[in-house]
Amino acid sequence: MIIAATVNVTNVSGAKSVPAISGAMSVPTIAGEAGTGVITGTVNVTGISANIGSGITAPTASRWKFNKTPIPATDGSQVIFTLPNGDGYVSGKLRVYVDGLRQIKNTDYTETSGTTFTMAIVLDADEALQVDYLATE
């Protein structure tokens, strides 16, 4: 598994060891003082088994929807589209693709509501529109 993120690490001491993580770890940059530290860049981690803490829940895989075709079909006049199957999406977790190219939020499309989005331009009937999103519960 490769995690590309900023990871805040506490209880770091000495040579910036992280005893709570076991396995191979590659860290390009470490900055901070004894007691706290910040790891930035790409962190490669294998073989981790840990409790992520109370109050934190990760979305289940079944909530992520990929390569779905919104409705109605592109027809050369439509700019407002709705997710299929009555699904809703979590704000900020919608990705829109036209002919396989990811569109830019607030430039190429706008999240209109929890179920619809609006394209900035009309799509031709022969353009393929697909979305990936985290469905609401």
pLDDT at 137: 87
Q: Are residues 37 and 66 in the same domain?
A: no
With a cut of 90, say whether residue 59 has pLDDT above it: no
Is residue 11, in this structure, part of any structural domain at all? yes
Burial class (CB within 10 angstroms; exposed 0-12, middle 13-18, buried 19+) of 74: buried
pTM metric for this prediction: 0.57
pLDDT-wise least confident of 41-55, 69-83, 110-124: 41-55
The total number of structural domains that make up the chain: 2
User: Parallel, antiparallel, or unpaired for β 2-4 and 7-10?
Assistant: unpaired
* Shared domain check, 102 and 72: yes
Residue 54: inside a domain, yes or no? no
Query: Looking at the structure, do residues 25 and 79 belong to the same domain, yes or no?
Result: no
Same domain as 73, residue 104: yes
C-alpha pair distances (Å), 134 with each of 53, 82, 89, 111, 128: 22, 14, 5, 13, 20
Rounded distance, CA 118 to CA 135, Å?
A: 18
Q: Which domain holds residue 22?
A: 2-45
Same domain, 94 and 67: yes
Order the strands of the 80-82 sheet from edge to edge.
80-82, 116-119, 109-111
Q: Is the pLDDT of residue 28 over 70?
A: no
Asked if residue 52 is part of any domain, the answer here is no
Q: How far is CA 136 from the centre of its chain?
A: 14
Asked if residue 119 and residue 76 are part of one domain, the reply reads yes
Are residues 33 and 85 both part of a single domain? no
The reply to whether 75 and 121 lie within a common domain is yes
Nearest Cα to Cα of residue 6 among 24, 36, 29: 29
CA 59 to each of CA 15, 47, 136: distance values in angstroms, whole numbers, following the listed order: 35, 21, 10
